[in-house]
């Protein structure tokens, strides 16, 4: 691993636990580097192995396709050794605690631990017990910082500027760490955020984050530049939050009729995985003139490459 650079000239952070801890200049530096990697990944050009000699471990206590794979790919593209640990096939099944598991991996001289956990705050707690860098890959309903960063870069690449955009975040906001991270990040970058959801799926106090709240999707979408749909997270629901998925789609699913209320060039986003026919009409999800869902996945690798650099060798300002 290369020696750490002078942190005065380089963006170098100990951990990435939330978007709250990133300043606007830091976000700009991170997204600029990620933008460079997004182009480099497309051109399949030679990428400098800045993480050669580093060990990156993904430790996931919840399922994942996009985040886990893209972190492992990002680490490999930068020359790191990357290893994935699945909680369901590890010693966690024998009763080992989260902290003991993390300390064990720390003792193997991991440089970065990338952790997803069902409990809000669990990843921060773990970061206080190890001496390697930790990335939050999603903790409970709290935050999913790299998802928000990749969403921001996807918007920037398509709309040039985030400042002044009307962004609607629609659906199961109550259970969504993606919504929370995006509200914090996109507001910080100057967007106006609207939340569109049934009252049962809006967290108490969310208005304190400066968002506008709509229970009517047609009204909420008027003049929107970005329509970000969220998955109905039935696995986190204890009780009945919507009468039925059919009813939900009728009032809160994105279909052609409701989308007409947004701007003509409004883009459709979804962090995935999608429930087709529940929160989004299948043909809209696949309409490449409007939907940037696959771009989000592609840019996710580039953003995670920049994040890995930010925690190891640093990003030159």
- Distance in Å, CB of 269 to ligand CP, minimum: 11
Least Cβ distance, residue 48 to ligand CP (angstroms): 27
Q: Using the 8-state DSSP alphabet, how is residue 4 labeled?
A: P
For ligand CP, the closer CB: 66 or 188: 66
The least distance separating ligand CP from the CB of residue 84, rounded to whole angstroms, comes to 12
Cβ–Cβ < 8 Å for 221, 252? no
315 pairs with which residues across the strands?
11
Comparing CB distances to ligand CP, the nearer of 64 and 127 is: 64
How far apart (Å, rounded) are the C-alpha atoms in residues 72 and 60? 12
For the bound state, the minimum distance from the C-beta of residue 181 to ligand CP, rounded and expressed in Å, comes to: 11
CB of 100 to ligand CP, least distance (A): 25
CA–CA distance, 218 with 252 (Å, rounded to integer): 9
- Please, what is the Cα angle at 118 between 171 and 228, to 5 degrees? 25
DSSP state of 250: H
> Shortest distance, CB of residue 235 to ligand CP, whole angstroms?
11
Question: Measured from the CB atom, is 280 or 315 closer to ligand CP?
Answer: 280
Query: Residue 189 or residue 269: which is nearer to ligand CP going by CB?
Result: 269
Nearer CB in complex with ligand CP: 66/290:
66
Distance CA 205, CA 39 (A): 40
DSSP H or E run through 110? none
Length of the chain: 317
Using CB under 6 A as the criterion, which residues of the chain lie in contact with ligand CP when the complex forms? 64-67, 138, 147, 271-273
Q: Toward ligand CP, which CB reaches closer, 104 or 233?
A: 233
Outline where DSSP puts E strands in 23-152.
Answer: 55-60, 81-86, 112-117, 133-139
């Amino acid at each position: 691993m290369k020696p750490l650079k002078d942190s005065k000239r380089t963006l170098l952070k100990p951990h990435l636990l939330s978007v709250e801890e990133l300043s606007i200049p830091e976000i700009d530096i991170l997204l600029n580097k990620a933008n460079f990697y997004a182009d480099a990944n497309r051109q399949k050009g030679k990428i400098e192995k800045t993480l050669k000699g580093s060990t990156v471990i993904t430790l996931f206590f919840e399922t994942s396709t996009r985040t886990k794979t893209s972190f492992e790919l990002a680490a490999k593209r930068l020359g790191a050794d990357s290893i994935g640990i699945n909680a369901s096939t590890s010693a966690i099944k024998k009763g080992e605690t989260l902290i003991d598991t993390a300390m064990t991996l720390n003792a193997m001289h991991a440089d970065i631990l990338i952790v997803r956990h069902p409990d809000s705050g669990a990843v921060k707690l773990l970061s206080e017990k190890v001496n390697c860098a930790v990335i939050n890959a999603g903790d409970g309903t709290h935050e999913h910082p790299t998802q928000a960063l990749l969403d921001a870069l996807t918007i920037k690449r398509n709309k040039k500027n985030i400042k002044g955009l009307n962004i609607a975040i629609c659906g199961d906001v109550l259970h969504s760490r993606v919504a929370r991270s995006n509200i914090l990040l996109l507001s910080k970058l100057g967007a106006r955020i609207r939340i569109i959801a049934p009252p049962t799926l809006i967290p108490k106090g969310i208005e304190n984050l400066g968002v506008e709240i709509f229970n009517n999707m047609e009204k909420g979408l008027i003049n929107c530049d970005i329509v970000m749909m969220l998955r109905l997270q039935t696995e986190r629901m204890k009780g009945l939050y919507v009468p039925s998925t059919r009813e939900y789609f009728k009032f809160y699913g994105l279909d052609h009729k409701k989308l007409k209320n947004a701007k003509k060039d409004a883009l459709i986003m979804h962090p995935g995985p999608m429930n087709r026919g529940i929160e989004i009409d299948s043909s809209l999800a696949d309409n490449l003139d409007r939907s940037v869902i696959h771009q989000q996945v592609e840019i996710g690798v580039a953003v995670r490459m920049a994040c890995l650099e930010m925690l190891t060798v640093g990003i030159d300002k």
